[in-house]
Chain A
Amino acid sequence: MSTKHTIAAEKFLQNSEKVTRHDQTFWSVRVKRDAQSQELPEWEELREAASQIKKHTITHLAEYLEKFEKNATKNGAIVHWAKDADEYNEIVMDILHKHQVKKVVKSKSMLTEECHLNDHLIKHGIDVVETDLGERILQMMHLAPSHIVMPAIHITREQVGRCFEDYKISPEVGNYDPTYLTRCARYHLRDNFMTADCGMTGGNFGIAETGDIVVCTNEGNADMSTSIPKLHIVSMGLEKLIPDYKAMGVFHRLLARCGTGQSTTVYTSHFRGPRPGGEMHIILVDNGRSKILGNEEHWQTLKCMRCGACMNTCPVYRRTGGYSYTYFIPGPIGINLGMLKDPDENYHNLPACSLCCSCDNVCPAKVDLSSQIYRWRQGLDGMGHADPMKKFMSKGMQVLFESPGLYTTALKFAPIANHLPKFITEIKLNGWAQGREMPVFAKQSFHELWKKGKVKA
């Protein structure tokens, strides 16, 4: 009874101190989020508003997309449409070729991860430099993000220091002081900003009414990436659209509070059109999103604004780490998005949920995360991915519980199990026995007590 997640989780859990650190780090973000939410009396109304606005926008998506394209074009941006990852990567390459770009500086974008853009660019000889500090560290270490908002939080400062030494950007060998290391990164990144030919950003929001792209960062790296190179390419999933500035007010109040427990990100930049003498390209990417829109049971994933709050509260994510999941987005939203992307590869993550439902309550857009996980599980048998042991056990329970006669007989004999020797109950097959004692059956069940008239007022 194991999947890729359960195996990876077991391995991660062997290092108890690391688990404690991971758990406490993300729990502290959850605590900060709670404190922020408590400061706004209208918090729950905001969440409801966000949920309704997202629902409205994605159910009128064609209308808003056209409006956005019209307004962005009016502002002087060039809008492209990409149906999938391949088309998206080609569009980016075409733009870069046309401008003879050799080096790209990038601010954080999960969409480019989704489409494997970096690999594509590097294959075509483009120098790609991530400029979000966490992303840059991971890029140097050839690692993937383990969280969508705090991608390198699992890396220690010692590891960062040694990596910087390897890349010759930390001259003081053995100095792992965070302030010092930050300064090293700053010098290193500044050099790259100065010499890049193109800046790429994601987009947290696209505002249909004005054609604005809104990018939220804490490091100002999106602004640096777009301030020096004349060429700016924005990559954005279709679902990032919102109708207008009024809606933006709702989302701006929620995003950082939920994601990092800040009242706002340090930088909230609105990009409206190219800089003088430059070009701004906006690539709107579908890559499966319009298919999700037609999925009655899972369309709500499109309301997600990628704040990461569901990961921070998830007791399983906090204790198993981002790399235990097979999809590049971990945690509750990642379990669902992974299933939508490729169920044969990502059904492995479905056990990673105790159905505690905490994610549903922290989600700023009220995505029904745990209910969706429950529903995916119901479909596993049909996909041919049901665990045979689980199916066998469920079938056994069905037979037992459908027949009250059999059930009461079983109750009568159950206490015998109390006397089974440990070598039988602790066989490897019994997942329960790993770290837990077997529960003890009562000598007489409630059924039996009732029948014998022993249940009395």
Chain B
Amino acid sequence: MGFYTKKNMKIGLFIPCYVDALYPQVGVATYKLLKSLGLDVDYPEKQTCCGQPMGNAGFQNMADELVENYDKLFKDFDYVVAPSASCAAYVKLFHPNIVNHECKAAQKTMDVVEFLHDVLQIKSLPSKFPHKVSIHNSCHGVRELHLSSPSELNIPRFSKIKDLLQLVEGITILEPERVDECCGFGGMFSIEEPAVSVRMGTDKLNRHLATGAEYITGPDSSCLMHMQAIAKHQNYPIQFIHVVEILAAGL
């Protein structure tokens, strides 16, 4: 389905809790971009969190009300779009198991990269970003949502993130060695196993730095947040930016 047949679609914007509190500019960029593509976008104000932090910690039973609330808020939209691959993946893959019934909203939930690439199939963008960026292929984006081909599998190589970034004028796209190794965030993992988590993050950062990039970009602000916290601690000269902020640059 091409883009022009989709103009009347109603899009629900899901801005996950930590994006809401720490990176509102990522939410704003998502909204602007979707509106610029002529879509009807709304943001239900009673949304909070997808429940993943509790689930990964071993308390998904504490998330059942959140799951029901999410379904209630978003079930009538044509698509629910979130600028966070990990949260979108949690909604899509885990929500139905938590409440043990069909979740209409979960079926319609997509990460923004997936949505732009697969549903809208955008082929051009007005944005410019004359910088070198290193793509951070986050685990759940790669292995749960298949935003790019997982390095472990013998399947044709693809990257939806790269496809989209290539539409941006002036950009130089790079990728680190060990292209989709984990950055060590992992939610509660980062504070329960801090030593290994920081080491994983430091290793990952160094591989991104080795590309010569000015920015690290990715579809998950959570991974970016983790690496940014280490980079700041060690005074590494690198900046962080969500993919959607680049795609919306200049709007």
- Segment of B128-136, B152-160, B162-170, B208-216 in the binding face: B152-160
Indicate if the CB atoms of B49 and A401 lie closer than 8 Å: yes
Identify the stretch in A34-42, A79-87, A227-235 within 8 Å (CB) of chain B at 4 or more residues.
A34-42
Give, as a whole number of angstroms, the nearest-CB distance from A230 to chain B: 45
Within 8 A of A (CB), among B32-84: 32, 35-36, 43, 45-49, 51, 53-63, 65-66, 69
Q: CB distance B191 to A431 under 8 Å?
A: yes
Instruction: Say yes or no for B226: interface residue by CB 8 A criterion.
Output: yes
Q: Answer whether residue A44 sits at the interface, using C-beta atoms and an 8 A cutoff.
A: yes
Query: What distance in Å separates the Cβ of B62 from its nearest Cβ neighbour in chain A?
Result: 4
Residues of chain A lying within 8 A (CB to CB) of residue B47: 404
> A390 touching B21 by the CB < 8 A rule?
no
Q: B residues 208-251 with Cβ under 8 Å of A?
A: 225-226, 228-230, 232-233
Per the 8 Å Cβ criterion, residues 437-456 of A in contact with B are: 437-442, 444-451, 455-456
B229 A432 Cβ-Cβ under 8 A: yes
Tell me whether A397 and B21 are in contact in the complex, defined as CB-CB below 8 angstroms, given that A354-B139, A455-B27 are known contacts: no
- Given known pairs A44-B155, A395-B62, the reply for A10 and B24 (CB within 8 Å) is no
Report yes or no: A354 in contact with B184, Cβ–Cβ below 8 A. Answer: yes
A19 at the interface (CB under 8 A from B): yes
Residues of chain B lying within 8 A (CB to CB) of residue A451: 45
Q: Which chain B residues lie closer than 8 Å to A431 at the CB level?
A: 190-192, 194
How far apart sit A356 and B46, CA to CA, in the bound complex (Å)? 30
CB closest residue in chain B, given A359: B152
- Residue on B nearest A350 in the bound complex, by CB: B58
CB within 8 Å of B: which of A413-448? 414, 430-432, 434-442, 444-448
Closest to A442 in B: B24
- Whether B226 and A436, one on each chain, are in contact in the complex, defined by CB atoms closer than 8 angstroms, is yes
Q: Do most interface residues of chain B lie in helix, strand or loop, or is the interface mixed? A: helix
Determine whether the beta carbon of A436 is less than 8 Å from that of B152. no
A397/B28 contact (C-beta < 8 A), A358-B143, A380-B58 known: no
Inter-chain contacts of B196 with A (CB < 8 A) = 9-10, 13, 316, 319-320, 352
Q: Is the CB of B140 within 8 A of A354?
A: no
Contact with A along B176-213 (1 / 0, CB 8 A): 00101110111111111111111111110000000000
- Interface positions, chain A 67-92, Cβ under 8 Å from B, are none
Task: Determine how close the nearest CB of chain A comes to the CB of B43; give it in whole angstroms.
Answer: 5
Mark the stretch among B12-20, B104-112, B116-124 that contacts chain A: B12-20
Determine the distance from Cα of A352 to Cα of B196 in the docked complex, in whole angstroms. 9
Interface size class, chain B: 35 or more
Decide yes or no: A435 and B233 within 8 Å by CB, A315-B200, A316-B193, A386-B58 being known contacts. yes
Q: Is the CB of B66 within 8 A of A401?
A: yes
| Residues in B whose Cβ lies below 8 Å from that of A390 | 57-59, 188, 192
CA distance A404 to B225 in the complex (A): 24
Nearest opposing residue in chain B for A19, CB measure:
B199
Question: Which A residues lie within 8 Å of B54 (CB)?
Answer: 394, 397-398
Q: For the complex formed, measure the closest distance between the CB of B63 and the CB atoms of chain A, giving whole angstroms.
A: 7
**Residues in B whose Cβ lies below 8 Å from that of A402:** 48, 65-66, 69
- Inter-subunit contact B185/A354 (CB<8 Å): yes
Q: Which of B20, B178, B190, B200 contacts A432 (CB 8 A)?
A: B190
Flag if A442 contacts B23 (CB, 8 Å).
yes
B21 touches A442 (CB 8 A): yes
Q: Which of A207-226 touch B at CB < 8 Å?
A: none
Which residues of chain A (313-331) have a CB below 8 Å from chain B?
313, 315-316, 319-320
Contact B189 A354 (CB under 8 A): yes
What's the Cα separation between A354 and B192 when bound, in Å? 10
Within 8 A of B (CB), among A2-45: 2, 5-6, 9-10, 13, 19, 23, 27, 34, 37-38, 40-41, 43-44
What are 16 A-B contacts defined by CB distance under 8 Å? Answer: A37-B154, A315-B184, A316-B193, A316-B200, A319-B203, A320-B196, A354-B186, A355-B186, A355-B187, A361-B152, A381-B58, A404-B45, A404-B48, A439-B225, A446-B20, A457-B35
**Which B residues form the contact surface with A (CB < 8 A)?**
15, 17, 19-25, 27-28, 31-32, 35-36, 43, 45-49, 51, 53-63, 65-66, 69, 139-140, 143-144, 150-155, 178, 180-182, 184-203, 225-226, 228-230, 232-233
| Residues of A that sit less than 8 Å from B by CB | 1-2, 5-6, 9-10, 13, 19, 23, 27, 34, 37-38, 40-41, 43-44, 313, 315-316, 319-320, 350-358, 360-362, 374, 377-381, 386-387, 390-391, 393-395, 397-398, 400-402, 404, 407, 411, 414, 430-432, 434-442, 444-451, 455-457
Q: Which 5 A-B pairs have the closest CB atoms?
A: A354-B186, A431-B191, A377-B58, A457-B35, A361-B152
